[in-house]
Structure 1
């Protein structure tokens, strides 16, 4: 093999028409990676939108191939970059003019907590477990859901939290780890109890054992009245 063989470095043994196929392959790879990210959810995506992460992954793959393999010609990789750059600009323009397309590609913010109550069905559709969501809330200084007026899962995977004022804090489900809270199927004393699945809070009497009226879950924990400590 001859070093600095410009024909090999630029096109290798492929015809010039192959550049059109490269553009098509770039679009195909783009669609595949996008579908993969949509199916696996938003987890691990921070500060960037799903669409931007998709662009970075696709370009990273193209850049890695041309950097490490001597049989990958340069011009087709340049076409990959140009094709994705044009596609990115086109999609951003279309999203600016179409709210439906923007929602399809970027997704919509999802309200997960409203007035201290967990929308657990929406949490499942967002491909996030309660464990992950509660961890994020704890990192935002939340001890129990009654402190939260509104919590929104943003399109970049981050959670925006809006709090009640101290005098408005409600009784709510404690989101501390399991080892820090007791769970009951038969409540030991009268008081407010929160369903450990959907966060519904109801008053119960000592010895009561009932299914949650909202989600039919049998387990309860004593509702917390803790206020925020800032």
Structure 2
């Protein structure tokens, strides 16, 4: 085993000092570039902004430690990407249609304590991920939600039901027991695990959801939200 090749690849020890210089230069370019992007570019990223960051990262990484990759082409890539970003954000500010084309639109996925199934199917978000975000908003069941909107950056905005309008809803806390329609333990309020609709059901009878036709249920909850 040749330790020089293992540690340095095909380069000499002197290239380590050059790597320090290259990394310092490119890191400075990254910081300046992100500063030029502004606050919009460093918050929770939209798809468009994520593409910009990936492009900048690709341009910055290679010249830091590949000797045959020059600094000037990478800096030129940064200049072009940032220029395109500023141009596209200008167009976004001038055209609502162009903004929708580039960044998409917010999607309402819960309304009046029930999933909007047709909208939910369009979005690449799993139930577990959605429930996690709702729990971070102190939501224990869907009956506490008047409306939930999946934003362009992947965050979920939640509008709460007034306490006086609180309804039964699908519980989203972990380890809540699930039942099929033929194994309901007792009469009571149950919520469909597919669409979220809550309804009163009898024990041990065949029950299909009147909204979506599924037969998986959880005992519905009407607990108040902890604020």
TM-score by length of structure 2 reads 0.76
Give 1:110's aligned residue: 107
1:159-199 Cα distance to aligned partner (Å, 9 max, x none): 1111112221101111112x233423222322221111111
Take 1:171 and 1:210, find their aligned partners in 2: how far apart are those partners? 18
Runs of 5+ unmatched residues, structure 2: 1-10, 16-41
CA 1:113–1:46: 2 relative to 1, 3 Å: farther
CA 1:49–1:111: 2 relative to 1, 3 Å: same
Take 1:164 and 1:74, find their aligned partners in 2: how far apart are those partners? 56
Take 2:197 and 2:64, find their aligned partners in 1: how far apart are those partners? 55
Give 1:12's aligned residue: none
**1:65 Cα deviation from its structure 2 partner:** 1.1
Take 2:94 and 2:224, find their aligned partners in 1: how far apart are those partners? 44
Give 1:84's aligned residue: 81
Give 1:51's aligned residue: 48
Q: Would you say the 8 A contact 1:147–1:164 is kept in 2?
A: yes
Q: Give the aligned CA root-mean-square deviation in angstroms.
A: 2.1
| Number of residue pairs aligned between Structure 1 and Structure 2 | 188
Give 2:172's aligned residue: 175
Take 2:192 and 2:128, find their aligned partners in 1: how far apart are those partners? 15
Runs of 5+ unmatched residues, structure 1: 5-44
**1:125 Cα deviation from its structure 2 partner:** 1.6
Give 1:129's aligned residue: 126
